[in-house]
């Protein structure tokens, strides 16, 4: 059995008056893939960003995050790489993609400029950008949406992190490209023995790609456990409804599942 990578205990997050997350506890082992699922506004991003240490200023946090394998608190870029839904938010439009990847590698791996450029070309190759040496000097606007997401992945990997957090890394892309990005992400995480926390609206994807699943409902982690258990014999009515109805998790809360709300499940 692999070592415990992350223990979250009674995590709670508020943005002013809004309680975004309450009493969430979970554990992930090194090399495991955790999928967080739940409808929009249920607290998935808040949970992921709390783990990455990327909550906005003004958010108040209670509870504890332990990273026993690291033996210290998580360092952004070095220990954790983050991949966001919209790659344009993580790419600098006026800097070549090679420089952007190399900069992160230099900062977090303590290597020089030339080694960092070589590493950048390797990473571009790993994320399946053709002719990586030539493309080092290209700018983000010269790539398609799917390629930009893969370049953002190369940047997230450049510090050689042990944890990758992906916040709906593929939902802005078309279905074929989405599958490609997710397959690649999965392959790279496995090859590198990284721990993965990913957010998805796609329950089929979670069942295919996750070792553990956490279901969030109105700021509470209502279900957490091995993927096969959560999906095979869900304990919570919300998870059962999710599986049975194949509802789109994008649908606003007010238009969905009134019977669940009435039941007062949380």
How far, rounded to the nearest angstrom, does the alpha carbon of residue 262 sit from its chain's CA centroid? 31
**Closest separation in Å from C-beta 20 to ligand ADP:** 3
User: Which residues are at the interface with ligand ADP (CB under 6 A)?
Assistant: 15, 18, 20, 38, 40-46, 56
CB nearer to ligand ADP: give 15 or 139: 15
In 3D space, the residue among 222, 226, 86 whose CA is nearest the CA of residue 166 turns out to be: 86
Q: For residues 46 and 147, which CB has a smaller minimum distance to ligand ADP in the complex?
A: 46
* Shorter beta-carbon distance to ligand ADP: residue 136 or 199: 199
Phi, psi at 165, each rounded to 5° = -110, 125
Nearest-approach distance from CB 14 to ligand ADP, in angstroms:
9
User: Cβ distance 18 to 47 under 8 Å?
Assistant: no
Rounded CA-CA distance 203/66 in Å is 28
Q: Which is nearer to ligand ADP, 46 or 149 (CB)?
A: 46
Tell me the closest approach of the beta carbon of residue 61 to ligand ADP, in angstroms.
13
What is the Cα gyration radius of the chain?
19
Closest CB 42 distance from ligand ADP, rounded Å: 4
What six digits make up the tokens of 37? 């699922």
Q: How far is the CB of 47 from ligand ADP (least distance, A)?
A: 7
Return the residue matching tokens 């504890």. 64
Report in angstroms how near the CB of residue 71 gets to ligand ADP at its nearest. Answer: 29
CB-nearer residue toward ligand ADP: 185 or 216: 216
**Cβ-based nearer residue to ligand ADP, 50 or 101:** 50
């Amino acid at each position: 059995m692999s070592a415990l990578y992350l223990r979250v205990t009674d995590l709670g997050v508020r943005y002013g008056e809004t309680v975004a997350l309450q009493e969430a506890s979970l554990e992930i082992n090194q090399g495991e893939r955790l999928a967080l699922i739940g409808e929009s506004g249920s607290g998935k991003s808040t949970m992921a960003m709390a783990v990455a240490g990327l909550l906005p200023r003004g958010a108040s946090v209670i509870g504890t995050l332990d990273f026993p394998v690291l033996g210290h608190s998580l360092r952004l870029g070095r220990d954790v790489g983050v991949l966001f839904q919209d790659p344009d938010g993580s790419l600098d439009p006026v800097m070549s993609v090679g420089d952007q990847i190399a900069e992160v590698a230099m900062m977090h791996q303590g290597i020089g400029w030339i080694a960092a450029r070589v590493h950048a070309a390797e990473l571009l190759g790993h994320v399946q950008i053709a002719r990586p040496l030539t493309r080092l000097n290209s700018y983000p606007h010269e790539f398609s949406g799917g390629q930009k997401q893969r370049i953002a992945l190369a940047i997230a990997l450049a510090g050689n992190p042990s944890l990758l957090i992906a916040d709906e890394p593929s939902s802005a892309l078309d279905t074929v490209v989405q599958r490609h990005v997710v397959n690649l992400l999965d392959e790279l995480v496995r090859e590198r023995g990284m721990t993965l926390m990913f957010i998805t609206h796609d329950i089929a994807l979670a069942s295919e790609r996750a070792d553990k699943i956490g279901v969030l409902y109105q700021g509470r982690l209502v279900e957490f456990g091995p993927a096969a258990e959560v999906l095979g014999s869900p304990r919570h009515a919300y998870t059962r409804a999710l599986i049975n109805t194949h509802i789109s998790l994008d649908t606003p809360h007010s238009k969905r599942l009134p019977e669940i709300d009435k039941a007062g499940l949380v």
